[in-house]
Structure formats: C-alpha cells, structure tokens
A and B are shown apart, each in its own frame.
Chain A
Amino acid sequence: MKLSEYQEYITEREKFDFFMEQGFKIIEVNESLSGDIVKLKLEEKDIVENLHIKTANGRKYYTNIMIMQLNLTNV
C-alpha cells in the first residue's frame, strides 16, 4: 500500500485545529519513539486532552502554533 503521509497529517491537523478553536493551549509535550504526545488544556474548564502526533508535518504544525502561543505569552 502506498504511503500517503499527507492524508495522515491532514487528519492530525484537523484534530489539532478543533481543540485550538475551542481555546485549548499546549501545556506539555512528551517526545517518544512513537511520536509526540501533545497535552492541551482548556484553562477555564480545567479540561486536558492528549493528541498523539505521528507525522513530521504534524510535528511542524503544532510547533508553529506552540511558538506563536509562547510569543503571545511572552509579550
């Protein structure tokens, strides 16, 4: 079967965007041999979600969001 990492990435990105649109923020990242577990938290409702990011593009995507988040926090 052909590898279509792009489709896998789109799925990860959509999941990630879903939580971002609700106001979740990245609070922790666990890197492992199986990919990254990104811990997201919705502060006002004290809800925590974990996303397992397996694709390289997915890792780039959440890193871009994480850096934007950090820049906003540091302003």
Chain B
Amino acid sequence: MADLHINLAGIDSPNPFWLASAPPTNSGYQVQRAFEAGWGGAVWKTLGDPIINTSSRFAAINFNGQRVAGFNNIELITDRPLEINLKEIYETKKRFPDRAIIASLMVEPKQEKWHEIVKLVEDVGVDGLELNFGCPHGMAERGMGSASGQVPELVESQTYWVKEVAQTPVIVKLTPNITDITATAEAAVQGGADAISMINTINSLMGVDIDTWNTIPNVAGKGAHGGYCGPAVKPIALNMVADCARHPLINVPISGIGGISNWKDTVEYLLMGATGVQVCTAVMHHGFRVVEDMIEGLSNYLDDKGIDSVMDLVGKSVPKYSDWGNLDLNYKVVARINNDICINCNKCHIACEDASHQCIDMLKDANGNSYLQVQEDDCVGCNLCSIVCPEEGAINMVELKGDHPPLTWNERQKALSEIGAK
C-alpha cells in the first residue's frame, strides 16, 4: 500500500487531506470527530478578535440536478473567545498527536497584534500557522482578510512580522480576488512565508429572488457580497495553484484549496504542484466521512500506478503547463464519430453548425438510416461536439500526424522579426 504521508514545509500529516479553515473546524468537538473519520489535518477556523455573525449566512447554486455545485457564505471568523479555542486546540492535539493542527489567524495589520496572537497560539502546540489574507467579506471592510491580501506590500510586511516571532511553519493563505495571484504569492515569499495556500473564496452574489427581489442570501431584506467556493471554483483555483507552482520566484510548497470534492480532484491538485489539499464545501455537503473514500481512492490510484508515495505526485504536471505562446500550432486533432455508439441526437451537428466550423454532416446510408460524419479537413479540433455529446465514446478526438515539426506562436514571431515583418 502506498505511503499517503506528506510533509508540507515541515508540517507532517498522515495523509494530504486537511480540513480548510471554515465552519467544520469551528470547535474541538468537530475537529476531533473529523480526525476520528481520518482527516490528516485541520486548519482551525480563523482566530482573532471574536466577531458577531448574521443569521442567514449560506447559499448554494444547484445546477441541473447537482446540489451545491457552488457555495457561498457571509460568515466571518470565529465568534468564540481565543482562550476557549486554544484550550480545545490543546486538547485535540493531545488526543491526536499525529495529526496536523494549523491555526488560521487574522488580526489588524499591526506588528504588535501579530506578535501577540502568534505567541499565544504557538504555546498550545499547533503545528503551523496560516495567515488569513483571503476572506472577502465582512472582515475586509475592517481592513483585514482580502483587504490586506490584495496589497502585496501588506502581505509581505505582515508575513515578515509573523516570521519575526513564529517558531512553527507559516502558511500564507491568498485571495483569488486579485488580477494576478503570483504578485501576492511572491510578496508572501519575500516576507518569509514557508508555504502558501490558495484559494480563499471568490467575491460573489449568489442570486436574486425574482418574487421578493431580495438577494440570496438576505439578512432582513438586505444582502452583502459573500465568498464563493465549491466544485464550481475548482478550475479557477487549479489555474492559480499552477501559476504559482511554475513561477520561478515562488519556491515554497503550496496547500491547494478550491472545490476539492474527491480523491481525483486531489490528484489533480497534487500533480499541478500542491503538496496537500484543504477541503470545506464537500464536508459542508456530505460530512466528515467523505474522507474515507478520498483516502481509499487515492491509495488505490497510487497502487494501480505503482507509485510508492503520494509525495511522488507533487508537481508532475507542472512542466506540462505553460503559456499559450508555447503551444504547438501544428498539432492537430479531429473529431471522429463512432456510429455504433452514436444515438443520432444531432447535438454535435447543431453545436458545430451554430457555434463552430460547420463540419458535421447529417447523412443517410443506402438503407435510408441517418448517420453523422465529420469533414475532417474542416474540423479545427475544438472539442465542442465531444463536449455536448451525451453518449460516452460516441465522439473521439483523434490526433492526426502532421507534415511539419512543432511550431509555436513565439517561434513564429521570432521568425517574423528575423525575416523583417512589418
């Protein structure tokens, strides 16, 4: 059986599955139950000056029968006194010494505030710290969370202040509500971060009730933007993880967060450069025991691939991710329809006619039976037909061997400049 143990910037964990700082890590009762279920680590719900929350806090998008395709919250950090949280962290760590407990922290951007809280939480035996520079709602209006996390100078200085006193590894959690996350990731590294985690939630308004005209969620008829997460955000988060993983100046481990619902999502994050993952929405939806399938699935995957350690997956797909200008323009795939599987729904024909290059013909054979055929010369290999096809295996995208060696846009532009293009 493969070894699932990870080491993220010096933090040991028996598996790569951590609970993200969120409602499921609000108390010792919850985190201990999570550890009983098998979670390798937990990032405690953010500690700071206790807040007051609103009633009515969450909302979800259900899409075509899938419940909780996206999730939104306007809940703030912990509403419990620091002493109570610290007592429960101490008790939890004592009961589960092999699990990772990371304290998520958020205070005003003042050196003395950071020094104070770091010393207090480290005294109870946490394995690491995560600086919450990501929460987009509520706390940001008070100058914390994403309000600090969107300013590289503040990320760097606050990380530096924490590192002045921290004895345990410091993870900086980044906001996606920024044009280029590598700018703040680099600032965190400059400040001395031992690792970075991403993404926190995305600014969102889940919807408007078309009968009452209230926002969703609403608090006594009024709404405010929340943080979006869940399966819908995974592609956005994965790209940000990948961008940091391939950045030459961001050379610290990454804790991946964003829509991770199962072991397959986890493998994708690890391949794209994350050393471990953090999960929230899947637990909000299905409970702590989702980790059982995650552990079993990941273990089986590694065994099937003949991989000894989960750490051997980390970053393996990063070299395959580049800029558009480095992609091979001579590479060609075309769609091929398997008429033994095709059910003649004509979705591919409609998609190609209306939205692509008009190269799927509706034909009739000698017996008058309908069939669909791709004009491969005109097919640009956009994948749309295979995306809309409801029958698995009815449309395959097939590689065609070309006559020319690989050619990238960047190579083309270089050649044009050499030839004297105007």
Contacts and interface: CB of A to CB of B under 8 A. Distances in A.
A67 B421 CA distance: 13
Contacts of A26: 419
A34 interface: no
A49 interface: no
Nearest to B422: A30
A3 B357 contact: yes
A17 interface: no
A70 interface: yes
Contacts of B377: 6
A63 to B, nearest CB: 5
B407 A29 contact: no
Interface residues of B, number: 18
A59 B359 CA distance: 21
A28 B419 contact: yes
B365 interface: no
A63 B407 contact: yes
Interface string A1-23: 01111100000000000000000
A4 B407 contact: no
Contacts of B411: 67
B420 A28 contact: yes
B310 to A, nearest CB: 42
B422 A31 contact: yes
A6 B379 CA distance: 9
A48 interface: no
Nearest to A67: B415
Given A5-B378, A6-B377, A28-B421, A64 B407 contact: yes
Interface string B408-419: 000110011011
B99 to A, nearest CB: 55
A28 B415 CA distance: 11
Most chain-A CB neighbours within 10 Å: which of B357, B412, B419, B422?
B419
A51 interface: no
A66 B413 CA distance: 11
Interface string B386-422: 0000000000000000001001000110011011111
Contact of B416 (A3, A6, A29): A29
* Number of chain A interface residues as a range: 10 to 19
A31 B415 CA distance: 13
A70 B404 contact: no
B422 A2 contact: no
A30 B415 contact: no
Nearest to B411: A67
A26 B412 CA distance: 14
Nearest to A65: B404
Contacts of B420: 27-29
B407 A67 contact: yes
A35 B329 CA distance: 17
Contacts of B7: none
A60 B330 contact: yes
B404 A30 contact: no
B288 to A, nearest CB: 52
B251 interface: no
Contact of A28 (B357, B412, B422): B422
Nearest to A73: B418
A23 B330 CA distance: 24
Interface in A26-75: 26-31, 60, 63-64, 66-67, 70
B358 interface: yes
B378 A60 contact: no
Contacts of A64: 330, 404, 407
A22 to B, nearest CB: 19
A60 B378 CA distance: 15
B334 to A, nearest CB: 11
Given A2-B358, A29-B421, A31-B421, A63 B378 contact: no
A66 B412 CA distance: 9
B422 A66 contact: no
A26 B411 CA distance: 16
17 contacts: A3-B357, A5-B378, A6-B377, A27-B420, A28-B419, A28-B420, A28-B421, A29-B416, A29-B419, A29-B420, A29-B421, A30-B422, A66-B415, A66-B419, A67-B411, A67-B412, A70-B418
Interface of A: 2-6, 26-31, 60, 63-64, 66-67, 70
Interface of B: 329-330, 357-358, 375, 377-378, 404, 407, 411-412, 415-416, 418-422
What 8 A-B pairs have minimum CB-CB distances, sorted nearest first? A6-B377, A29-B421, A64-B404, A6-B378, A2-B358, A63-B412, A30-B422, A67-B415
